[in-house]
Protein backbone atom coordinates (compact mmCIF):
# COMPACT_ATOMS: atom_id res chain seq x y z
CA UNK A 1 0.00 0.00 0.00
CA UNK A 2 2.70 2.49 0.99
CA UNK A 3 4.74 1.71 -2.11
CA UNK A 4 1.75 2.39 -4.38
CA UNK A 5 1.01 5.73 -2.72
CA UNK A 6 4.70 6.67 -2.66
CA UNK A 7 4.91 5.90 -6.37
CA UNK A 8 1.83 7.99 -7.10
CA UNK A 9 3.22 10.89 -5.08
CA UNK A 10 6.53 10.63 -6.88
CA UNK A 11 4.70 10.74 -10.21
CA UNK A 12 2.81 13.87 -9.17
CA UNK A 13 5.99 15.57 -7.98
CA UNK A 14 8.08 14.78 -11.04
CA UNK A 15 5.40 15.50 -13.63
CA UNK A 16 5.22 19.14 -12.56
CA UNK A 17 8.98 19.58 -12.43
CA UNK A 18 9.39 18.91 -16.13
CA UNK A 19 7.86 22.29 -17.05
CA UNK A 20 9.38 25.69 -16.37
CA UNK A 21 7.53 28.90 -15.70
CA UNK A 22 5.58 28.06 -12.56
CA UNK A 23 8.20 27.54 -9.85
CA UNK A 24 5.94 28.68 -7.00
CA UNK A 25 3.16 26.33 -8.04
CA UNK A 26 5.65 23.47 -8.37
CA UNK A 27 7.19 24.22 -4.97
CA UNK A 28 3.79 24.24 -3.32
CA UNK A 29 2.83 20.97 -4.99
CA UNK A 30 6.08 19.45 -3.78
CA UNK A 31 5.49 20.67 -0.22
CA UNK A 32 1.96 19.30 -0.19
CA UNK A 33 3.14 15.94 -1.51
CA UNK A 34 5.69 15.81 1.29
CA UNK A 35 2.97 16.61 3.82
CA UNK A 36 0.96 13.65 2.52
CA UNK A 37 4.01 11.39 2.60
CA UNK A 38 4.76 12.44 6.19
CA UNK A 39 1.16 11.63 7.11
CA UNK A 40 1.57 8.16 5.65
CA UNK A 41 4.88 7.63 7.44
CA UNK A 42 3.51 8.79 10.80
CA UNK A 43 0.35 6.70 10.46
CA UNK A 44 -1.96 9.72 10.66
CA UNK A 45 -3.42 9.03 7.22
CA UNK A 46 -5.36 5.90 6.43
CA UNK A 47 -5.33 4.26 3.02
CA UNK A 48 -8.70 5.78 1.88
CA UNK A 49 -7.63 9.24 3.09
CA UNK A 50 -4.31 8.95 1.29
CA UNK A 51 -6.02 7.77 -1.87
CA UNK A 52 -8.36 10.79 -1.80
CA UNK A 53 -5.51 13.23 -1.17
CA UNK A 54 -3.41 11.80 -3.98
CA UNK A 55 -6.38 12.17 -6.34
CA UNK A 56 -6.62 15.80 -5.26
CA UNK A 57 -2.91 16.32 -5.99
CA UNK A 58 -3.38 14.78 -9.43
CA UNK A 59 -6.32 17.14 -10.06
CA UNK A 60 -4.18 20.19 -9.23
CA UNK A 61 -1.40 18.87 -11.45
CA UNK A 62 -3.85 18.44 -14.34
CA UNK A 63 -5.01 22.03 -13.88
CA UNK A 64 -1.40 23.16 -14.11
CA UNK A 65 -0.70 21.01 -17.16
CA UNK A 66 -3.79 22.37 -18.95
CA UNK A 67 -2.77 25.92 -18.11
CA UNK A 68 0.71 25.32 -19.55
CA UNK A 69 -0.56 23.59 -22.69
CA UNK A 70 -0.63 26.79 -24.74
CA UNK A 71 2.74 27.95 -23.39
CA UNK A 72 1.38 30.79 -21.25
CA UNK A 73 -0.14 30.63 -17.79
CA UNK A 74 -2.53 33.57 -17.47
CA UNK A 75 -3.22 35.31 -14.15
CA UNK A 76 -6.69 33.76 -14.11
CA UNK A 77 -5.21 30.28 -14.52
CA UNK A 78 -2.66 30.97 -11.77
CA UNK A 79 -5.46 32.12 -9.47
CA UNK A 80 -7.51 29.01 -10.22
CA UNK A 81 -4.53 26.75 -9.50
CA UNK A 82 -3.83 28.70 -6.32
CA UNK A 83 -7.40 28.17 -5.09
CA UNK A 84 -7.20 24.46 -5.90
CA UNK A 85 -3.92 24.19 -4.00
CA UNK A 86 -5.42 26.03 -1.01
CA UNK A 87 -8.37 23.65 -0.94
CA UNK A 88 -6.00 20.70 -1.21
CA UNK A 89 -3.83 22.09 1.60
CA UNK A 90 -6.88 22.40 3.87
CA UNK A 91 -7.92 18.83 3.03
CA UNK A 92 -4.46 17.56 3.92
CA UNK A 93 -4.64 19.38 7.25
CA UNK A 94 -8.09 18.05 8.12
CA UNK A 95 -7.32 14.48 7.08
CA UNK A 96 -4.12 14.47 9.17
CA UNK A 97 -5.87 15.94 12.20
CA UNK A 98 -9.16 14.07 12.33
- State the CB neighbour count (10 A cutoff) for residue 72: 9
For residue 18, the 8-state DSSP code is T
Domain count, the chain: 1
Which pLDDT value is given to residue 38?
Answer: 96
Q: How far is CA 91 from CA 30, 43, 67, 96, in A?
A: 16, 16, 23, 8
Residue 54: exposure state from Cβ atoms within 10 A (0-12, 13-18, ≥19)? buried
Could you list the residue range(s) of the whole structural domain that residue 72 is in? 2-96
- Residue pLDDT tens, the chain, 98 long: 667 666 666 666 555 544 447 999 999 999 999 999 999 999 999 999 999 999 999 999 999 999 999 999 999 999 999 999 999 999 999 999 98
pLDDT, residue 24, reads 94
Amino acid sequence: MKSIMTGALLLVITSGASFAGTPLIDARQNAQSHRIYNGIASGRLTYPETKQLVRGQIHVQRLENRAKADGVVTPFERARINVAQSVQGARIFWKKHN
